[in-house]
Amino acid sequence: MKIFTKTVIVILVVVGLFALTPTGQYIFAAGNDLYRKLEVFQEMIQLINTQYVEPVDWDSTMEGAFKGLMDALDPHSIFIPPDRVDNINESFKGNFEGIGIEFDILNDYITVISPIVGSPSDGLLNPGDQLIKIDGESAYKITRDEVFKKLRGPKGSKVGLSVARAGLDELLEITIIRDKIPIYSVLAKFLMDDDSTGYLLMNRFSATTSNEFITAVEELKTQGMKQLLVDIRYNSGGYLDEVVKIIDDFLPGGEKIVYTRGRLKNANEDYFSTGKAEFEKLPVMIMINRASASASEILSGSLQDLDRALIVGETSFGKGLVQRQYPMRDGSAIRVTVAKYFTPSGRLIQRPYKNGDAEAYYEEIYDHDFDKVDSTKLASRPIYHTKTGRVVYGGGGITPDVHLAPPGVLTKSTANIRRHSSRPFFTFASEYAVKHPELKRDWEHFYDNFKYSEDELNQFYSIIDSLGIKIDRLELTEDENIIQNYLKSELAAQLWGRNEQYEVRTELDDQIQEAMQHWTEAREIGHAGGYL
């Protein structure tokens, strides 16, 4: 009966806490429904604990109940188990302490995908290196959780690695001193082929994003940038304060950027530009897709409403709910929707949802006809107007000013190669980089001219066959340009880094190439808004 007694105490404490708070007073003043439901819940636990056919794992059972409780609210209110809290917090904190590598487990060993720039591993470890031992202990068949436990640690502590490197017969013995490792949210920044368009890719809005963004834009300006393309496709959001700071850089003072409204007064906030205006005169284009959500929609929706940027791409996700994260006493946490956010014109970007049906809510986004269906329903959606009177739509994500067709679907063979756990593109490029170090001498020549020979592609396909990956050579011929690009971009990552990897990828990114044809519209919007 120990478990049951503990559970009853917890429930009574929860009820007591409700009763002692203003929110609790509100709930119980409105009726006793919640209290009666808690009594039923207590009764269920007692019966299960005493009558169920087998001993109950109450940790997992209660976590399931907590998850169900949050699922019943909305798709974005969630329960976070204790073992996931640190990792989730870390991704938005902007740093962690460790050795600084991106890794995968290939052939049962930790394989370095890339050392993080500026980390202790930068210059000591290479892409493709395999960690055979950690502090003298074998790392064979190590799990991902064990990798984090062994490689992360306090700043200043040491870890010894035995490293297998292509081209060397003996293991390298390397000692790395752990340090604070940045988690970058600006993944790439470079000038496009026209030498005047700056390209900037962001994958989240973390605690360091606004500083990263300003630094990247300033760097691009020194290289001769005259206009900025911000790519936030697949950016699922992050901190509201960080996206507000970025928007502030493009506006004069006194403009409403975004506002939130909730049931409680402390959830109601109006955010205005401060007049910082670091980049007020810079033509801007924002690229979004169906996976751009939350803070990404604040960035695109706000700059669209204020006629400050041209929005291109696909209709965005439609997440207009604001969550706050609250720690629980057992180390878990909950994220609770406390408000809805609105763009300057008054648009609520939240897409309709049915409580308790998160699966259908998320599946809708991956419907191939998502944009097509959405466009046919524009007439039924709420109409709003931008600062200069342009029509924009509420009721479900940000509708771009210029729609760009979604990327084409890969053939089944190419998709099978991309998804395979052995990472064939990475592995082939890693081995190729070791054999051809001379390629690193001239980035411009590589970017403009490099191409794998037919014999080299056949070597790659032979490796694919040996791995047992199902492919059709005719399909691979159909996707040859794409395969060349994947292999070339992986090779660029091996030789130079992530920035060059993404620069190669843009060569075959049809959405980016199409967006580059719309700078006239971007400038016209900026002029009409009084910015340029």
Q: What is the CATH number of the domain that holds 250?
A: 3.90.226.10
Catalytic residue among 273, 294, 296, 345: 294
314, 401: one domain: yes
103, 193: one domain: no
311, 425: one domain: no
Which range marks the domain in which residue 220 is found? 186-323+338-407
What integer pLDDT is reported at residue 491 of this predicted model?
98
Residue 90 falls inside a structural domain: no
33, 173: one domain: no
DSSP track, 400-435: PSEE-PPPPPPPHHHHHHHH-TT-HHHHHHHHHHHH
Classified as helix, coil or strand, 142 is coil
Task: Say how many C-beta atoms besides its own lie within 10 A of residue 296's C-beta.
Answer: 30
What integer pLDDT is reported at residue 313 of this predicted model?
97
Query: What whole-number distance in Å separates Cα of residue 414 and Cα of residue 511?
Result: 20
As for how many domains the chain has, the answer is 4
392: part of which helix (H) or strand (E)?
strand 391-393
Residue 85 falls inside a structural domain: no
Residue 430 falls inside a structural domain: yes
114, 33: one domain: no
- Residue 185 DSSP one-character state: S
Has 294 been annotated as catalytic? yes
Task: Say how many C-beta atoms besides its own lie within 10 A of residue 402's C-beta.
Answer: 16
Q: Find, among 346, 240, 251, 334, the residue nearest to 293 by Cα.
A: 240
Residue 441 falls inside a structural domain: yes
Residue 328 falls inside a structural domain: no
- Round the CA-based radius of gyration of the chain to a whole number and report it: 26
Which of residues 407, 429, 451 is at a domain's end? Answer: 407
Q: Find, among 343, 322, 326, the residue nearest to 335 by Cα.
A: 326
Strand-strand pairing, 227-231 and 284-288: parallel
Task: Say how many C-beta atoms besides its own lie within 10 A of residue 375's C-beta.
Answer: 14
In angstroms, how far is CA 285 from the centroid of its own chain? Answer: 20
Helix, strand, coil: what percent of the chain each, to 5? 45, 20, 35
Asked if 493 and 188 count as a contact pair (C-beta separation under 8 A), the reply is no
Asked if 179 and 100 count as a contact pair (C-beta separation under 8 A), the reply is yes
What integer pLDDT is reported at residue 337 of this predicted model?
95
Question: What's the Cα-to-Cα distance from 67 to each of 61, 73, 257, 326, rounded to whole Å?
Answer: 10, 10, 34, 15
282, 191: one domain: yes
Residue 331 falls inside a structural domain: no
Residue where the block lists tokens 């810079």 = 282
291, 418: one domain: no
402, 420: one domain: no
What integer pLDDT is reported at residue 369 of this predicted model?
58
What integer pLDDT is reported at residue 508 of this predicted model?
95
**Burial of 351 from C-beta contacts in 10 A (0-12 / 13-18 / 19+):** buried
Asked if 187 and 200 count as a contact pair (C-beta separation under 8 A), the reply is no
Residue 514 falls inside a structural domain: no
149, 271: one domain: no
Catalytic residue among 305, 307, 371, 374: 305
Which of residues 140, 166, 182 is at a domain's end? Answer: 182
Give, for all 532 residues of the chain, the pLDDT tens digit.
344 344 443 333 343 334 334 444 444 444 568 888 888 999 999 999 999 999 999 999 999 999 999 999 999 999 999 989 988 888 788 889 999 999 999 999 999 999 998 899 999 999 999 999 999 999 999 999 999 999 999 999 999 999 999 989 999 999 999 999 999 999 999 999 999 999 999 999 999 999 999 999 999 999 999 999 999 999 999 999 999 999 999 999 999 999 999 999 999 999 999 998 899 999 999 999 999 999 999 999 999 999 999 999 999 999 999 999 999 999 999 999 999 999 999 999 998 887 667 778 888 777 655 555 455 567 778 899 999 999 999 888 999 999 999 988 899 999 999 999 999 999 999 999 999 999 999 999 999 999 999 999 999 999 999 999 999 999 999 999 999 999 999 999 999 999 999 999 999 999 999 999 999 999 999 999 999 8
Which of residues 367, 386, 407 is at a domain's end? Answer: 407
Catalytic residue among 210, 319, 345, 401: 319
361, 437: one domain: no
398, 434: one domain: no
Task: Say how many C-beta atoms besides its own lie within 10 A of residue 335's C-beta.
Answer: 16
Q: For the chain, give the number of residues.
A: 532
Residue 526 falls inside a structural domain: no
107, 202: one domain: no
Has 319 been annotated as catalytic? yes
